[in-house]
A and B are shown apart, each in its own frame.
Chain A
Amino acid sequence: MEWFNSVIKAIEAAFITGDRWKLYLEGLGVTLEVAFFASIIGIIIGTIVAFMKLSVRKDGKPTLAAHIANIYMDIIRGTPVVLQIMLMWFVFMAGCKNGVLVASITFGINSGAYVAEIVRAGILAVDKGQTEAGRSLGLTQFQTMRYIVIPQAFKNVLPPLCNEFIVLIKETAIVGYVGLSDLTRVANQMTSKVYDAFTPLIGAAIVYFVIVKILTKLLGRLERRLRKSDNR
């Protein structure tokens, strides 16, 4: 009974006293905001970079754009995202005081490198015969892409893209490094306020878990629906 009472007290202190749950909610808001804008930026950059990487010169060698895309992907994937966001905050965008903006751009640029691979793989997964058939009818390279390859690639790409968004929600837990009060930072600060690490941190963990679980469920439903149109 005594143990039960102490748990109730800890929960009260961590979440209820002084409307502290509002802080978590605001933190969750920041987390989702950054993840949302970052994935939009990531999809735009990733799509452009994927096409850059797929571009070939007339003699079959990779273009300058393809080389640039490769360098970008190497750098992004070869360095920790914590360092990337600190570099952005303290160096490259040091003048910008809007933390959400800096975080969104950083994670967007970071995510773009991974999205580029997803999009590239999705396009390459479309059978070469589809392109050949389009070209043999006299359609241009662009028309073949636009009407035949991209619609089919889209179906391949949508599930991993949603997955990338889910990953982003968890990855943004480091934005506390640049002073943003996201869900993780709110919980972390709360531990020193209530002299209890367990309750606030577990609370935040449960929130992440539930959000990710819901999105994963939705993604599963989407995938099943996409597959339905392949059925005979």
Chain B
Amino acid sequence: MIIVKDLHKKFNDNHVLAGVNYHIHPGEKIVVVGPSGSGKSTFLRCLNLLEKPTSGEIWFDGQLITDPKTDINKVRQHMGMVFQHFNLFNNLTIMENITLAPTKLKLMGEEEAKENALKLLGRVGLAEKADAYPASLSGGQKQRIAIVRSLAMNPRVMLFDEPTSALDPEMVGEVLEVMKELADSGMTMVVVTHEMGFAKEVGTKVVFMDGGNIVEENTPQEFFANPQSPRLQEFLSKVL
């Protein structure tokens, strides 16, 4: 579904991604872990070109999206993204947050988009917040709505960039719960996170990144029980 070939990203002299190769298949839940500065967030943000790769290729459903001729806006309609800081649109109500993109991009009519939004809001238990503004919500509620906003576009893959890192501890659970349900529904997901419990429980594969590249990749069971590289062993000994 997503194929990454020899992906490099440099910020000035800082070589953040040093030739990443990876293949994501439909229905997989890839959990990316690693120390800060390992390039995992940059890797994720390259997948929908929020970060422009310095070199390398990214294919999405057979389309080379790193080609300058590709209409990246069209591609992004099929790739949902959830951010660490939620990034709900502060000037719009929850309902408008969710319906803005589907209606302005003419994928749905006003009515259909609203109906769809209410259905999705119901799924995360926030239907009564439809007319509220983001400023009046808790972090956990904001993040659940950010997930709904992405889902309203019917994406084929969902990218999560440390979705629980900015949350109060007691709100992490409600967001992970929504993500688990999403995973169970068969969505293809790429999740950058520090939540090792989530990686074990939901991931179909866990990827360890360090120094701008993928060091190790395995099923969650093997990944945590039998880490191969000394770097991963050290990392796990610190975080578990």
Residue positions of A touching B, CB distance < 8 A: 127, 129-130, 132-140, 143, 147-148, 151-152, 155, 229-232
Contact = CB atoms under 8 A, between A and B. Distances in A.
Given A127-B87, A129-B87, A136 B104 contact: no
B83 A139 contact: no
Given A139-B101, A152-B90, A133 B83 contact: yes
A148 to B, nearest CB: 5
Contacts of A136: 48, 50, 76, 79-81, 83, 150
Interface string B54-94: 00000000000000000001111101110101011111100
Contact of B89 (A134, A138, A231): A134
A143 B76 CA distance: 14
A132 B90 CA distance: 13
Given A135-B76, A138-B76, A148-B91, A129 B83 contact: yes
B117 interface: no
A173 B75 CA distance: 57
B149 A137 contact: yes
29 contacts: A127-B87, A129-B83, A130-B90, A132-B83, A133-B83, A133-B87, A133-B88, A133-B149, A135-B50, A135-B73, A136-B48, A136-B150, A137-B76, A137-B80, A137-B150, A138-B74, A138-B77, A139-B100, A139-B101, A139-B105, A147-B89, A147-B92, A147-B100, A148-B100, A152-B90, A152-B91, A155-B91, A229-B133, A231-B135
A232 B83 contact: no
B101 A137 contact: yes
Given A136-B80, A137-B150, 7 more contacts: A132-B50, A133-B88, A133-B89, A135-B50, A135-B73, A138-B74, A138-B76
Nearest to A129: B87
Interface of B: 48, 50, 73-77, 79-81, 83, 85, 87-92, 100-101, 104-105, 133, 135-136, 146, 149-150, 153
B153 A137 contact: yes
Nearest 10 CB-CB pairs, A to B? A138-B77, A133-B87, A129-B87, A137-B101, A136-B81, A138-B76, A151-B91, A138-B73, A152-B91, A232-B136
A107 B33 CA distance: 58
Contacts of B105: 138-139
Nearest to A137: B101
Given A135-B50, A136-B76, A138-B73, A147 B104 contact: yes
A127 B77 CA distance: 22
Contacts of A137: 76-77, 80, 100-101, 149-150, 153
Most buried by B among A133, A137, A232: A137
A7 B16 CA distance: 79
B74 to A, nearest CB: 7
Contacts of A138: 73-77, 101, 105, 153
Contacts of B80: 136-137
Contacts of A130: 87, 89-90
A139 B89 contact: no
A138 to B, nearest CB: 4
A147 B100 CA distance: 8
